[in-house]
Amino acid sequence: MKIILDLLLLLLIIIYSYLESLVKVFIPQRRKSVAGEIVLITGAGHGIGRQTAYEFAKRKSRLVLWDINKHGVEETAAECRKLGATTHVFVVDCSNREEIYSSVNQVKKEVGDVTIVVNNAGTIYPADLLSTKDEEITRTFEVNILGHFWITKALLPSMIRRNHGHIVTVASVCGHGVIPYLIPYCSSKFAAVGFHRALTSELEALGKTGIKTSCLCPVFVNTGFTKNPSTRIWPVLETDEVVRSLIDGILTDKKMIFVPSYINISLTIERFFSFALYQVEEVPFYYYFDESLHQE
């Protein structure tokens, strides 16, 4: 009897998800304006960070762009200025806590209080656990999750005072399911999803309803760091497709942004039936990575 009730519950969840998507097609959600908002984007020198900067520039936001790559972030800034956006560039290593705090203080003095932050900087080292260097594991966590803590801690006080802001966590579908040969990356993304959920809950408990949170969870994205990326089931996403979903989620205050959106249903089904998600030989999500991939 219990399994029948559980199956009915699963069916209701799937039907609800499809109906919700259908309603959104005919009744678009109201989108907020981000004109004049001070937007800090980490990892803005390429990929998702760069495209996100372009989209905010088109919407007349004031941009603060961070990246460890000076050449890349300056290229992004130049294009944003062509789009009419006031843009400030900072070369920042998001694995370095003191550098983060120092840069945030500099931003406050030179630009003002950040009202939207997109924690996008990330790194990845595909290899089996025993072949992964200790320093690669450390750096993965320093960039992919600890950097989120330091940046958010530095920016949150001004948001709380105004009860206004938006904190965006760029995670991954790997924060909900696992892939072999990416143990540090998956672990850091699980932490990023947990960070988003816990932060969202804490802000609600504090009554800071004016501070919004969003978490981006795409499947594999072709950011140019992998040669001939391929998957057996899920599509390989292009950066502009992911960023369109991200911007739409930010403007509608969506808490969890899956790309493609149907991944949410797939994950629900997989969790429900307890498929061999943790068995290496099954290769969950059917991802195949080239060893030349080092950053996202």
What residues are labeled active site? 185
List, in order, residues 6 or more apart from 11 with CB less than 8 Å away: none
**What CA–CA distance (Å, rounded) separates 46 from 69?**
9
**What CA–CA distance (Å, rounded) separates 1 from 262?**
29
Number of residues assigned to the chain: 296
CB 152 within 8 A of CB 100: no
